[in-house]
Amino acid sequence: MTLRKPYPPIDPYRMGRLDVGDGHELYFEECGNPAGLPVVFLHGGPGSGASAPHRRLFDPQRYRIVIFDQRGCGRSLPLGALEANTTWHLVDDLERLRRHLRIERWLLFGGSWGATLALAYAEAHVDRVLGLILRGIFSGRRAELDWFYDGGANRLFPDHWENLVAQISGDEQHDLVAAYRRRLTDPDRTVRAKAAQAWTAWESATVMVRASNPATTLADGTASDGQIAFARIENHFFFHDLWLEEGQLLRDADRLAAVPATIIQGRYDVVTPAITSWQFAQAWPKADYRLVEGAGHAFAEPAILHELLQATDQFAADLPEA
C-alpha cells in the first residue's frame, strides 16, 4: 500500500485575533475554500499551539480550514498564562470562535489533548457538530495520567524516565506533576526553564515508535518562552485533572450516538494507550475505529498520517458543505 502524503503547503486567506475575555486573545486563521466544509483543528498539549503542517491535513479545495491557538499557546496572548485557563474556558472559546466566523456547524479534528477538547465541546454542543476525527484519545482519567507520570510508561523508557525524575528531589518524587508545578510556576525563569526542558523531553521521547533524534535533557535553562509556556500549561491542566469529573467524557459518550466519527489509534501509542480509544469506540455506534499497526502516538508517523488524510477525504465526500 502506498502511504498518503499531506496536501501541499498553503497560506491562510484570513488571520485575526479574537478577544475572549479574562485578558486572553486567541490567534486564528482560515485556509482553503471559504465556501467549503468547515473544519476546526484542535491542537494537542495542552499548550503546544498549531502550526503550518496542520493545514496540510485537509483538501484545500473542499475544506474551510479553521486553525487557532488555545489560551496561552503559540501566537495567542498572553503566552503561558494560567489564569482563567481551564477546559471549560476553552470549550466556551470554541463557541465564541464559531459564532465569530458565522459557522453554523463544523467538523472537529483533534489528537491527544485535541481529542479531549473535541469530545468536551461535542458533548456540550452536539447540535453544532457535523462529525469528529480523533487520534489517540486522551480522556483525562486518573489511570491515564498515572500511566504516564506515576509508573507505567517508565517501564518502557527507563532511561528517559530517569532524566525526568532526576530534576526532582527524592521526597517529592511520589507526585511528579505537583513537583513540576512548583518549578514551572517559580518566579525564577531559570528554574522554570530547567523544569520545562525535562518535562518536554520526557514527552518527546515517547511520542513515536522510532524517534530519529531521541530527546535528551540539558536542564541548562536555555528553554524558549514557547517551550516554557507549553510545559506550564500542560502541567497546569494535569495538576487540576483537566477540570473533568472522573470518567466524564466516556460516561457522556451516549450524547454523541448520532454523530459520525473516525477514531485513529496507534497500536503502540505509549502516551495515550489504545484502551481508551477502544472503550470510546465500543460506546459509540457511529464511530469508525482504525487501529494502526506499527504506529505510536504522533500524527506525523506515516501510517497515522495516512489514516488521517483518508478520514478527512472521506468526511469531505460524505458531509454536505455548510
Tell me the pLDDT tens digit for each residue of 3-39: 999 999 999 999 999 999 999 999 999 999 999 999 9
The structural domain count of the chain equals 2
178, 37: one domain: no
Domain co-membership, 204 together with 224:
yes
Q: Is there a single domain that holds both residue 114 and residue 189? A: no
Looking at residues 127-155, what average pLDDT do you find? 96
Considering the candidates 112, 139, 160, 236, report the single residue annotated as catalytic: 112
Contact yes or no for 232/80 (Cβ under 8 A): yes
**Which residues span the domain enclosing 178?**
144-242
Long-range contacts of 7-12 (CB under 8 A, 24+ apart): 7/55, 7/56, 7/57, 7/58, 7/59, 7/60, 7/309, 8/56, 9/52, 9/55, 9/56, 10/55, 10/56, 10/60, 12/55, 12/67
Are residues 269 and 308 part of one domain?
yes
- Mean predicted confidence (pLDDT) in 122-130: 98
**Chosen domain end from 242, 257, 279:** 242
Band (175; pLDDT cuts 50, 70, 90):
very high
Same domain membership, residue 110 and residue 31: yes
Flag whether 7 is in a domain: no
Rounded Cα–Cα distance for residues 19 and 72 (Å): 13
In this prediction, residue 221 carries a pLDDT of: 61
Give the rounded percent of residues in the chain with a pLDDT score beyond 90: 93
- By DSSP bridging, strand 14-21 and strand 24-32 are antiparallel
297 annotated active-site: yes
Cα(199)–Cα(236) distance, rounded to whole angstroms? 12
Judgement on whether residues 154 and 231 belong to the same structural domain of the protein? yes
Residues 205 and 87 in one domain: no
pTM equals 0.96
Residues 234 and 257 in one domain: no
pLDDT tens for 55-99 read 999 999 999 999 999 999 999 999 999 999 999 999 999 999 999
Catalytic pick among 160, 269, 277, 306: 269
User: Is the residue at 8 inside a domain?
Assistant: no
User: Of the listed 24, 54, 297, 306, which one is catalytic?
Assistant: 297
**Residue 220 falls inside a structural domain:** yes
Do 128 and 265 lie in one domain? The reply is yes
Q: Is 100 a catalytic residue?
A: no
Task: Judge if 169 and 37 occupy the same domain.
Answer: no
Per-residue exposure over 80-100, b if at least 16 CB sit within 10 Å of its own CB, e if not? bbbeebbbebbbbbbeebbee
Is 55 in the same domain as 98?
yes
* Whether pLDDT at 168 is above 90: yes
The CATH number for 81's domain is: 3.40.50.1820
Query: Is 204 among the residues known to form the active site?
Result: no
